[in-house]
Structure 1
Amino acid sequence: MRQSLYLLAVILLLISCQNNSDDQSDLEIGSPDGALVLKFDLSKDGRPFYTTSYKNKTVIDTSYLGMDFKNLDNFDQDFKITSSGTAEFDETWEMPWGEQLEVQNKFNELWVKLQESNDSGRTLELRFRIYDDGIGFRYEVPEMERIDTVYITEENTEFNLTQDYKTFWIPGDWDIYEHLYSTTKLSEINVDKYRNHSNLAQTYIPNNAVNTPVTMVGTDSIHISIHEAALIDYSGMTLGVNSEKLGYKSILVGSENRDYKVKKTLPFHTPWRSVQITDNAPDLIESKLIVNLNEPNKLGDVSWFKPMKYTGVWWEMHLGKSTWDYGMTQSMDSWKDTGKAHGRHGATTENVKQFIEFSAENNIGGVLVEGWNTGWEHWIGFEDREGVFDFVTPYPDYDLEEVTAFAKARDVQIIMHHETSAATETYTKQQDTAFALMQKYGMNTVKTGYVGKILPKGEYHHGQYMVNHYNNTVVKAAEYNVAINAHEPIKATGLRRTYPNTISREGLRGQEFNAWSSDGGNPPEHLSIVAFTRMLAGPIDFTPGIFNIKFDEYKENNQVNTTIAQQLALYVVIYSPVQMAADLVEHYEANPEPLQFIRDVGVDWKQTKVLDGAVGDYVVIAREERETGNWFVGGITDENVRSQTIDLDFLEEGKTYQMRLYKDGEDAHWNDNPLSINISEREVTKGEEINIEMKPGGGFAMSLMLVENE
């Protein structure tokens, strides 16, 4: 049915203008609604540049484009326009899973063919796509005589803005995205305080640059977020800060092993450089610019992956209740030789069965098991990590056969875990064997991890080598009907459209920092920034649902800096098709009333509506579950109290819904009284208004379940 709908989608591809004149300048293309206008031109010395206006106001001023090469003249000037053309495109496609079922992909396109005026005659094509909610553009390098491969040393793509935007940013770290966001003016960005972070296993920040998405808010309510789409066989892009120009220039992630950053065989094109532009914060989240800039599904039917909630052996290790390793020794083989274990191993057969039973009883479809396989005694802090892990051999106290049979009998899926310790060659060699084992036991989802400095030495998590490793792993996994939830990943760039087994990823400072970081954990504002920055890139495996906010029995100096109501709201606010109920079973069993929301909440959505929000302050999101017609609403705030009026106008006319509202108690506070919660229930219909006050670090969650007609 979905494929049929896709084929029946309205598709218009009309070449409306093609000009082959040698005398072309000031080319222009507007968005379908006319609000956005992009202009392209060449400077007097033949340098290509673009500008962009929104509602008749320039938002991106003269911004030059170009590339630097090793052993070749750069692509940066002495160009002339030889031809150009425009096109219109409109289609509707379906997400196999996602924030909504149907996505409209509607844009106007401008392409420009350039040729160097010198004797080389080299050519370059630039392609711009203009949507109602932003722009995307890329470089396209055709085949050339006597050149079959180029070595790119830098890509000089500029984004020069017209005001000193309030900017929400993390540093341009080549190795990790797990930093807290800073909020400063663009001109005041300085990454120095982020260097040498004690809580990170790997970090490298060579430039005064930011990672993307970077989101900015202007004094005129203009909202801009710069990112990239369809990152394949290329290096990730950071943005070097130009305080004087109030702008950025791209800085590609490099390698210590070569004197170039990207190697490409001609012909090729770069990833899309994307700029979302709206006049309000909610529209940033509702935008589908990033996924629309990616190619359609290449895998076909992926119904073997089912969005799900999951529990697992994970949080208890971060708390220190149990460990990933079995023997706690410095030698990989000593526990095998002696048969001795320290008795605190978490991934035991009996412990995992406890999680399976709990999940089966509470409408939770999966159980993640970390620390099940041998190698954890020697996995981090060692230079030679190749060959440490294998991905088929369990520890002696974990019976894979028994556990998977136990789970299958209860309709619960075991989620595999592959921690690579960033030893990429070991993992690449073992992938066929590891994924075949998963296929044998009916496991369709794996959480991968890449903690530590990349091996081979000298590579970085976000360079071309690792971009290819991550993407090749996704393609390989698809051969075995396996979906990837990547941790310590490359950034999300919308490839979930092309490869829908790319289901979620980390790529941010997650919940675990609350359990073990020495800097106080994630502050109350953290996720109200993340929703408008990192979440614009794609799904996040944040692991919400911590009920035991102050875990003094394990770590008295650490806590989660939210209320329990906000932990419930995150199941709606922070999107992922896999959502963890991350806390310990005993903490859920001690709180059966708030647990009901986790039982009820959906994970796969027909439509999403961002009802309200301000970047870094608060956000309120409503989502309709596919198949059931039930709605769920979540709202979160930073350290400030917020009063919200929720208009239920999004509900279906003539239907009655049973509303169950979980909101902060009157005296709730993220630090002083985080467990204070008020739960109420009544019937509601379309158009009613619900008044809610979110307390400091708090929020609310709401389930709206359709009442069956008698």
Structure 2
Amino acid sequence: MNKFWNVALLLCAVLVTACTTPESWELKSKDNNVRFVLENKITDGVTDLTYSVYYKDTIAIERSLLGLIMDSLEYGKNAKFVSAAPVKDIVEAYQLKSGKQIKTIDDCREQVFTFSSSEGNNFDLIVRVYNNGIAFRYGLSGLDKELHTIQAEHTEFAVPVNGKAWIHPYDWNERKKPSYEQYCSNAIEIRSECEHGRGWAFPMLFQTNGLWMMITEAHLDGTYPATHIDNSGINGAYKIRFPELDEPIVPDAVEPVSKLSWYTPWRAVIVGNDLNTIFQNQMVSHLNPPSVIEDESWIKAGRSCWSWWYKGATVLDYKEQLKYVDLSVEMGWEYILIDAGWQRMANGGTMEDVVKYAQPKGVGVWLWYHSGAGRENDTVAARRIMSDPELRRAEMKRISEIGVKGIKVDFFDSDKQRIIQLYPAILKDAADNHLLVDLHGATLPRGFERTYPNMMTTEAIRGAETLGRQQRCDKAAEHNATVPFTRNVVGSMDYTPVTFSNKIRQGVEAIRQTTVAHQLALAVVFESGFQCFADRAEAYLSLPEQPKQFLKEVSAAWDESCLLAGYPSDYAVIARRSGDVWFIGGISGKAEKREIEFTLPAACKGKSFTMITDGKDKDCFDYMPIKDTDGKIKIKLLPNGGFAGIIR
């Protein structure tokens, strides 16, 4: 009899255990190095949905809150587990038209977890785990046709505090028009608060627990604003923050609004043992939908000249623009950019005449436009041309038919949802008219280049156009040695580099503090599918033969990129491959003489080449022949120096 009751009790215990709702789940990467741990446990009487991230059993993200508030209802707190879909392996090979590695593979595992809110509304957490990171987003389903509002997103990132952070403050300037042009706050304490009180911008770079990690956002489809970060999470954890209400371009509320079904942007965490893992990562592209352009044969990355940087009035001068067309012909560059004011061009011809002159020479013309953001009701049609769908399509059709190849669209100036909706609208209409696009004065890249490969680059950087002020020149070297590890990781960067001249602003000359070799190296260190070289024509034409040849040959789209050596804000040595040819660029961010040591890619060992280096002063080049190298290189640099080379 006792045996019977023992068996019965054991069976009951098994049944109870089997029926108990699970409280935690784990999704591992294919190589088992990355683990995403999801928990739905009661703490102090409240059930919180949380996650944590591990890399090789080292904690990368501590237990962090998940969830959101939609229509004033909680989706995450006191939620009940419904189901976990089978794990799905994703392997998608695709090809970009520009970027750090044009042939790439989205290779990860995905699992969808469904929960029910206290009111019985189901919602999903979609999780992807890569060998070098994780990503997740929320899915909200429903059959009604009503508009819904997300009042808050609870998502936190509890980064372990024993380390350092490199983060750009959210760009809150005197105009209150964020365009991601703030200097990075370098090597600060993790979970430090931003001084201006408006939070931090993506991407955020960390060195913590012996790991390197980046946190950013991916995939904006117009149903959500671009977000940034503050420290309002538990114990100062980083937390998602919507745009600032007083961004003045449009008077809209900042909360996202959409019909169902609705998917939020991806929250992405890249993690690994070394900086090269961060540098090479393409997760932001992977998390976006495939290309919507069937025939991509017309999309060509390339290099361009640009007269505006040295003297803005040149865009009004037809004969000056012909000079820059001839510069592109001489240098073998594919394009010329004519900036704001081209509609008033005089002195013998118009923009259309420049296009006619450039076409038979194989040079494509790009034109500048204002985005029209906030100007939708402007009585002057030219001011709203890019924000008015009818006017935009008509103008794109007109310029495409005369042979214009691309457009630079400027001054978006807000991360609110209505402005975010303008990006895919412009990119789609441009694609329909075979126009390439440079998004300037814009939000941070979040992966548009996969869905719309005609998007060649985005500014979202304090670039060379600000070097008309001496304090900007003084900070340039450190800034240049920082952004390859932060801003440029997440997408092409329209810095407009390689400026040897001193820029003159309002009659005052700002003196360049970087060496000419440092400037030359930026053609490799900075990646951009539309690489716009900003200096005056005479500066390039008067270069010594080897630096000039380097700029003639350097590519704007890469088969492979890797970080050979470096540390954020200190120095960077980068190698990029186009076909069988490697281009090397190295820069120092320090105003002191130094020697840098690094190892070349394995394919370069045993080869001979010449490295273009610093000369006797910052305005001179020198040359360092390297014979049958074993791959290990040492180079001496001047303060704020650099070097560049081609290895065949």
* TM-score, length basis structure 1: 0.80
Unpaired runs of 5+ residues, structure 2, are: 1-17, 172-176, 377-383
Give how far 1:556 is off: 4.8
Say if 2:189 is the partner of 1:237: no
For residues 19-78 of structure 1, the C-alpha deviation after alignment (integer angstroms, 9 at most, x for no partner) is x977122100111111111111112123211011112121211111121234x3232312
Partners in 2 of 1:400 and 1:260 — Cα distance? Answer: 39
Give how far 1:676 is off: 2.8
For residues 263-317 of structure 1, the C-alpha deviation after alignment (integer angstroms, 9 at most, x for no partner) is 0101110010011111211211111111111111111222212111111221123
Partners in 2 of 1:296 and 1:153 — Cα distance? Answer: 30
Amino acid in structure 1 at the alignment position of 2:68: M
For residues 291-350 of structure 1, the C-alpha deviation after alignment (integer angstroms, 9 at most, x for no partner) is 111111111222212111111221123xxxx42xxxxxxxxxxxxxxxxxxxxx543110
Correspondences of 1:6-405 after superposition (within 5 Å):
23-44=21-42, 45-70=46-71, 72-85=72-85, 86-116=87-117, 118=118, 120-143=119-142, 148-173=146-171, 175-183=178-186, 184-192=188-196, 207-218=197-208, 220-233=209-222, 234-242=224-232, 245-255=235-245, 257-259=251-253, 261-317=255-311, 322-323=312-313, 346-374=315-343, 398-405=349-356
Q: 1:394 to 1:496 in 2, by over 3 A?
A: same
Q: 1:62 to 1:310 in 2, by over 3 A?
A: same
Amino acid in structure 1 at the alignment position of 2:205: T
SS of residue matched to 1:170: strand
For residues 506-528 of structure 1, the C-alpha deviation after alignment (integer angstroms, 9 at most, x for no partner) is 00111111114766554321022
Amino acid in structure 1 at the alignment position of 2:518: Q
Partners in 2 of 1:436 and 1:346 — Cα distance? Answer: 23
In 1, are the aligned partners of 2:318 and 2:354 still within 8 Å (CA)? Answer: yes
For residues 326-376 of structure 1, the C-alpha deviation after alignment (integer angstroms, 9 at most, x for no partner) is xxxxxxxxxxxxxxxxxxx543110001111121011111111113434xx
For residues 421-469 of structure 1, the C-alpha deviation after alignment (integer angstroms, 9 at most, x for no partner) is 645421222211221122112222111111xxx7xxxxx6111111101
Q: Which moved more, 1:76-85 or 1:252-261?
A: 252-261
Unpaired runs of 5+ residues, structure 1, are: 1-19, 193-206, 324-344, 375-392, 455-459, 668-672, 706-710
Partners in 2 of 1:586 and 1:561 — Cα distance? Answer: 20
Partners in 2 of 1:615 and 1:253 — Cα distance? Answer: 27
Say if 2:610 is the partner of 1:660: yes
Amino acid in structure 2 at the alignment position of 1:561: Q
Q: Corresponding residue for 1:442?
A: 403
In 1, are the aligned partners of 2:310 and 2:504 still within 8 Å (CA)? Answer: no
Give how far 1:248 is off: 0.4
Q: 1:121 to 1:561 in 2, by over 3 A?
A: same
For residues 385-430 of structure 1, the C-alpha deviation after alignment (integer angstroms, 9 at most, x for no partner) is xxxxxxxx75575423321121112111111211346454212222
Say if 2:647 is the partner of 1:696: no
Amino acid in structure 1 at the alignment position of 2:40: L
Q: 1:155 to 1:107 in 2, by over 3 A?
A: same
Say if 2:602 is the partner of 1:602: no
In 2, are the aligned partners of 1:448 and 1:486 still within 8 Å (CA)? Answer: yes
Q: Corresponding residue for 1:580?
A: 532
Partners in 2 of 1:268 and 1:316 — Cα distance? Answer: 47
Say if 2:511 is the partner of 1:559: yes
Q: Which moved more, 1:687-696 or 1:609-618?
A: 687-696
Partners in 1 of 2:317 and 2:608 — Cα distance? Answer: 41
Q: 1:615 to 1:297 in 2, by over 3 A?
A: same
In 2, are the aligned partners of 1:21 and 1:82 still within 8 Å (CA)? Answer: no
Amino acid in structure 2 at the alignment position of 1:650: A
Correspondences of 1:512-523 after superposition (within 5 Å):
512-516=465-469, 522-523=475-476
TM-align CA RMSD: 2.5
Q: 1:674 to 1:420 in 2, by over 3 A?
A: same
SS of residue matched to 2:399: helix
Give how far 1:474 is off: 0.7
Give how far 1:252 is off: 1.2
Q: 1:22 to 1:441 in 2, by over 3 A?
A: farther
In 2, are the aligned partners of 1:140 and 1:269 still within 8 Å (CA)? Answer: yes
Give how far 1:97 is off: 3.0
Q: Corresponding residue for 1:482?
A: 435
Q: 1:638 to 1:704 in 2, by over 3 A?
A: same
Partners in 1 of 2:341 and 2:508 — Cα distance? Answer: 28
SS of residue matched to 2:231: strand
2:586 to 624, 628, 635: 635
Correspondences of 1:456-605 after superposition (within 5 Å):
461-516=414-469, 522-548=475-501, 550-551=502-503, 556-593=508-545, 594-605=547-558
SS of residue matched to 1:261: coil
Q: Which moved more, 1:40-49 or 1:240-249?
A: 240-249
Give how far 1:80 is off: 0.7
Q: Corresponding residue for 1:196?
A: none
Amino acid in structure 1 at the alignment position of 2:609: M
Q: Which moved more, 1:263-272 or 1:167-176?
A: 167-176
In 2, are the aligned partners of 1:188 and 1:243 still within 8 Å (CA)? Answer: no
Partners in 1 of 2:318 and 2:145 — Cα distance? Answer: 59
SS of residue matched to 2:646: strand
Partners in 2 of 1:474 and 1:442 — Cα distance? Answer: 18
SS of residue matched to 2:644: strand
* TM-score, length basis structure 2: 0.88
Say if 2:618 is the partner of 1:674: yes
Give how far 1:190 is off: 2.8
Q: 1:583 to 1:373 in 2, by over 3 A?
A: closer
Partners in 2 of 1:618 and 1:160 — Cα distance? Answer: 29
In 1, are the aligned partners of 2:318 and 2:346 still within 8 Å (CA)? Answer: no
Partners in 2 of 1:143 and 1:552 — Cα distance? Answer: 58
User: In the comparison of the two structures, how many residue pairs are matched?
Assistant: 604
